[in-house]
Amino acid sequence: MTRLEALFSADKVIRDQYVALTKRIGQENAVLKTLEEKLADAQGAADRRKVLQAEREDAYRRVFEAIINEQTALAELYNPLLSRLAASSGTLRKLGFYVRRVVDVSQWGAFAEKNLLDQRKAGPLNGRGSLTAHAEIMLKPAWEKGTAAEIQKAMTDWIHAIDNETPLDLVIANAGIGLGQNDAPTLAEITERTFDINVQGVFNTIHPALDRMIPRRRGQIAIMSSVAGFVGMPGAAPYAASKAAVRSYGEGLRGAYYRHNVEINVICPGFVVSRMTDRNRFRMPFLMDTDKAAQKIVHGLERNKPRIAFPWQMYGSIRLLQMMPVWLADRLLRRSPRK
258 among known catalytic residues: no
Exposure string over 275-301, b if 16+ CB within 10 A, otherwise e: eeeeeeeeeeebebeeeebeebbeebb
What CA–CA distance (Å, rounded) separates 199 from 246?
A: 6
Residue type, 63: V
* Span between the terminal Cα atoms of the chain, in Å: 74
Largest CA distance in the chain: 121
Q: Which residues contact 175 (CB under 8 A, 6 or more apart)?
A: 197, 198, 201, 202, 204, 205, 224
Q: Which residues contact 262 (CB under 8 A, 6 or more apart)?
A: 210, 213, 214, 217, 218, 219, 220, 221
Considering the candidates 60, 239, 257, 315, report the single residue annotated as catalytic: 239
What CA–CA distance (Å, rounded) separates 215 from 49?
A: 10
User: How far, CA to CA in Å, does 254 sit from each of 112, 220, 226, 230?
Assistant: 25, 10, 17, 18
The residues assigned a catalytic role are 239
